[in-house]
Structure formats: structure tokens, C-alpha cells
Structure 1
């Protein structure tokens, strides 16, 4: 397990993560990329807990996703099954579990202030925190995609499912974009990654 985790998370985070896995008897599965989620927490019929994390994540996102899923386990153990999946109980557990990892031996110094701000009130996905999301993507493998905020007004772009849009005006935070096929307006986060045309 030690050598496997070294491929996916910062080296200084390996031992504490192995301790969490052993302590809770978690079955950790590293899976191929999923479009809709970075990780998953599930209690199996046998009572064992299974956590899955996408192999395609960079090491910092992988670590955050793994601890995110452990926070679900801790929240259900501490507060019972009738809590909101990403409610205040989960947020508290996520903060507590993440705290030992928020240091320069594990995360680059430039990420630490952004992580500290994010963990004051963690969200269900770090992707909804635009500043942190863009900073974390700097550690991803190179990509031909651009962020929506980099696409000029009126230019066309394609999303992963093949649909083509034209970038429109900015609302408060998000951009209105028209679907080329239907003319329907959709809103996109500024840090959504798209393929310029």
C-alpha cells in the first residue's frame, strides 16, 4: 500500500493516510477518471467502508479527495446516518482531518493560504472554489483546454460531451453561454475547462 500511495499523494502524507486506512479498515480503490466526481464513499453490505478516488487527479487533489471521503466516514460515525452529506458535521470532520496535512512539508507554500481560506468553510467540491481550483490545476498534466474566463466574448468552444457554445456576457461570477444547437442559455463557472474552436 505504501508504494502505491506514493504514486498518488505527497510522500509526507503517505504514512498518516495509511494509518487512517488501517484504523478504519477502509478498502481504498483507485479508479479511472470519472467526469462527475473525484471520489466516492460507500458502506458495503458487509459493513466495510469502500473509498474510491480517481487516479487522474494530481497528488494534491488526490489527497484532498481522499480526506474528503474519510470526512464522510467520520461524520457518519460521530453524528449518525441522518445528517446532510456535506452539512456542518461533515465540514467539521473535514477541517479536523485535513488540519495535520496543511503544512509546507506536504503542500507547496503558494497553495497554503488558499487552502487555509477554503477550509474555513469547505465546500462539497474544491472545484466550486474558483481561486483554489485554478491554483490546483497548475499541478495537472498539460492540457489543450482553456478556462472559460480566458475565452474571448463571442467565441465558440466545445465541452467534453461534444456540445458547442458561444461565450456571452458575465453575470456576477458566471458566464452566460448559448448552446449552438438549441440556442438555450447555460451558465458556466469561470474556471470550467473547455476546448476553444
Structure 2
């Protein structure tokens, strides 16, 4: 398992991450990309703890996702299964698990301030933290996608599911976009990746 982990996470994090996996009796599955999520945790009917993480993630995003999912398991064990999945108990647990890893042996020094800021109050997804998400994106392989904030006002774009939208105005942090087929208005994070049409 530790040899497999070397392919997916920063090398300095392999041994301590493997210890977390062993200590918490996690069955880690590395899976093909799911567009709607980076990873998930579930307790199986046989009592085993299964965590899945997308194979397509860069090593820093993969690592943060892995610790995110382990935090679900640890928080449920410590505080009970009635807690909110991304509530204060999970946030506290995620912070505690992540703290030893926020150092230059694991993350590039220019990412450290953004990661430290994110973990003052971690979100349900690192993608909702636009600055951290954009900083992590630089380690992804190039693709033909654009961010919502790069689409011109009134420009059309397509989502992974084929739906086409027209970009509208920015409302505080997110953009109002109209689904062309239905006229319904949706809010998009500025760092959502889409296919620019015109």
C-alpha cells in the first residue's frame, strides 16, 4: 500500500499517511475520476471503513482529499454518527489531522499560507475555497477547460453533463448563470471549470 501511495501523494507524507490508514483500519480505493466529488468515506455493511479518492487528482489535492475523508471516519468514531458530516466536530478533526502536514517538506512553500488560511475554518470541499483551488490547479495536467471568471459576461459555456449556460453578473462571491434550455438561474463559484463555447 505504501508503494501505491507514493504515486499519489507527496513523498514526505507517505509513511505518516500510511500509518493513519492502518490505525483507522481503512480500505483505500483509488478510483476513476468522478466529476461531482474528489473522494468519499463510507462504513460498509461488514463494518469495514472504505475511502475512495479519484486517481486523477494531483498529489497535493489527492493528499488533502485523503485526510478530509479520514477526518470523517475519525470524527464519527469520536463524536458519534449523529454529527453533521461537515460540522464543527469534523472541522476540528480535519484541522488536527492536517496540522502536522502543513510544512514545506510536504507542500511547496508558496502553497503553505493558502493551506494554513483554509484550515482555520475548512470547508466541505477545498474547491469552494477559490484561492486554494486555483493554487492547487497549477499542479494539474493542462486541459481545455476555462474557469467561470474567465468566461466573458454573456458568454456561453457547457458543463460536463452537456447543459449550456450563459454567464451573468457576479453576486458577491459567485456568478449568476442562466441555463439556456430552461431559463433557470444558477450560482457558480468563480473557479468552476467549464467548456467555453462563445
TM-score bracket for the superposition, by shorter chain length: over 0.9
Matching residue of 1:100: 100
Alignment of structure 1 residues 19-168 onto 2, 5 Å: 19-168=19-168
Q: Distance in 2 between matches of 1:184 and 1:34?
A: 25
Structure 1 stretches lacking a partner, 5+ long:
none
Matching residue of 1:194: 194
SS at 1:72's partner residue?
A: helix
Q: What TM-score results when the alignment is normalised by the length of structure 1?
A: 0.97
SS at 1:3's partner residue?
A: helix
Q: Distance in 2 between matches of 1:72 and 1:50?
A: 11
SS at 2:144's partner residue?
A: coil
1:63 CA displacement: 0.3
Q: Distance in 1 between matches of 2:153 and 2:106?
A: 39
After the TM superposition, which segments of 4 or more aligned residues of structure 1 sit over 4 Å from their partners?
Answer: none
Q: Distance in 2 between matches of 1:178 and 1:162?
A: 14
SS at 1:195's partner residue?
A: strand
Q: Distance in 2 between matches of 1:45 and 1:179?
A: 40
Deviates more, 1:171-180 or 1:108-117: 171-180
Q: Distance in 1 between matches of 2:78 and 2:184?
A: 45
Matching residue of 1:6: 6
Q: Distance in 1 between matches of 2:181 and 2:3?
A: 48
Q: Distance in 1 between matches of 2:42 and 2:80?
A: 15
Alignment RMSD (CA, Å): 1.0
Matching residue of 2:173: 173
1:183 CA displacement: 2.0
1:81 CA displacement: 1.4
Residues 82-101 of structure 1 show CA distances to partners (whole Å, capped at 9, x for unaligned) of 11111111111100000111
SS at 2:182's partner residue?
A: coil
Q: Distance in 1 between matches of 2:50 and 2:158?
A: 35
Structure 2 stretches lacking a partner, 5+ long:
none
